């Protein structure tokens, strides 16, 4: 994979202004997540995610493992800014429970970790 892989903004809409932007294909979003997670300096843990990780005993390493090996689960929704996408990556790291990492792919080439949760509750 190229070293400068960046998120791809949605294609502009040519119909109604209230229509949601076209999302990139899920496999493309997963490719971006996996690439960015290999560069820890591009991953931002939000305060809420940090609180949930501490509360649930989830480590940074486990979160990175989920981002690198997991699959997308659930809806993909537009982020707050154009070209950003929110989705959940789910995996079961070796020796752990299945967990989900709610991630926002940011236009600047970063991942924002919104929250981390157990999937098997």
* Per-residue pLDDT tens over the stretch 33-52: 999 999 999 999 999 999 99
Residue 117 has what pLDDT? Answer: 96
Of 23, 6, 26, nearest to 79 by C-alpha is 23
Q: Which two tokens stand for residue 3?
A: 């070293």
Please state the rounded mean pLDDT for residues 116-120.
93
Is residue 69 assigned to a domain?
A: yes
Q: Which residue has the higher pLDDT, 117 or 10?
A: 117
The domain of 48 spans 26-118
pLDDT tens, residue by residue, 48-100 = 999 999 999 999 999 999 999 999 999 999 999 989 999 999 999 888 899 99
Q: In this predicted structure, what is the pLDDT of residue 10?
A: 44
Residue 54, in any domain of the structure: yes
Structure tokens at 96: 């752990």
pLDDT above 90 (res 18): no
Assigned domain for 58 exists:
yes
CATH number of the domain within which 66 lies? 3.30.2310.40
pTM of the complete model: 0.82
Instruction: Decide if 94 is inside a domain.
Output: yes
Please choose, from the candidates 73, 76, 1, the residue with its C-alpha nearest in 3D space to the C-alpha of residue 36: 1
At 100, list the tokens.
Answer: 């989900």
Tell me whether residue 11 is in a domain. Answer: no
pLDDT at 108: 87
| Domain-located, residue 9 | no
| Distances in whole angstroms, Cα of residue 68 to Cα of each of 19, 30, 34, 75 | 32, 9, 5, 19
Phi, psi of 8, deg, nearest 5: -100, 120
What is the number of structural domains in the chain? Answer: 1
Nearest-5° Cα angle at 93, 111 to 56:
75
Q: Does a structural domain hold residue 12?
A: no
């Amino acid at each position: 994979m190229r070293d400068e892989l960046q998120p791809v903004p949605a294609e502009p809409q040519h119909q109604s202004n209230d229509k949601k932007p076209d999302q990139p294909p899920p496999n493309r979003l997963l490719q971006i997540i996996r690439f960015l997670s290999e560069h820890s300096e591009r991953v931002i843990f939000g305060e809420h995610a940090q609180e949930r990780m501490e509360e649930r005993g989830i480590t940074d390493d486990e979160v990175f493992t989920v981002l690198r090996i997991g699959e997308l689960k659930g809806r993909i929704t537009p982020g707050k800014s154009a070209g950003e996408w929110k989705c959940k990556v789910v995996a079961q790291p070796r020796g752990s429970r299945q967990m989900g990492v709610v991630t926002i792919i940011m236009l600047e080439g970063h991942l924002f970790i919104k929250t981390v949760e157990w999937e098997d509750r």
